[in-house]
Amino acid sequence: MKTKKHNLKNLWTKLLHIGIPAEQSFPLAQQIKKTNLVAIILFACASIVGASLMLLKLPVMDPLAFVIAFAFLLVSIVNYFEYHTLSRILLIFILNSALNVFSIALGRDSGTHFWFLTSSLILIVIFNSRHAKFWSTFSENKNER
């Protein structure tokens, strides 16, 4: 049992350290870890939503949820090739695109507009405060219904 925990901990550490070279500065390494963490969590959430939609037999939304889930994996792949700023921008773009698609598909009263607040908070987590102010202009919901 202890080796399973140890292996799981090693896997988690490797996933968080994707794209961090040995000579990377500490603040940037922390931002990369946070980006990988958010991407992994969102991948897991989108996969759970996709599996739930598959069980509910909603044929239109099911493939879309899995496409979005694998798009979140793309963030870690971009980090692996050391395009760190691009991966953070891609994470915000995919998240907001997914939220727009699901809010349109689920309807006006689905409550998905509250998740746009969460995407604004993620900006503060993965960018430092100086960059978060700039990128928050792209994270706002422009749809007025």
Counting beta carbons within 10 angstroms of the beta carbon of residue 129, is it exposed (0 to 12), middle (13 to 18) or buried (19 or more)?
exposed
pLDDT band at 145 (very low <50, low <70, confident <90, very high): very low
Count how many domains the chain has: 1
Residue 123 is assigned to a structural domain of this protein: yes
Q: What range defines the domain where residue 102 resides?
A: 27-139
DSSP state of 112: G
Examine residue 15 and state whether it is found in any structural domain, yes or no.
no
Calculate the average pLDDT of the chain: 80
Q: Is residue 9 part of a domain?
A: no
Give the per-residue pLDDT at 130. 61
In a domain, 106, yes or no: yes
Evaluate whether residue 6 is within a structural domain.
no
User: Given a cut of 70, is residue 139 above it in pLDDT?
Assistant: no
* pLDDT tens digits along 72-131: 999 999 999 989 889 988 988 888 888 777 777 777 666 666 776 777 777 777 776 665
Domain membership of residue 144 (yes or no) is no
Instruction: Evaluate whether residue 102 is within a structural domain.
Output: yes
Q: Is there a domain that residue 22 lies in?
A: no
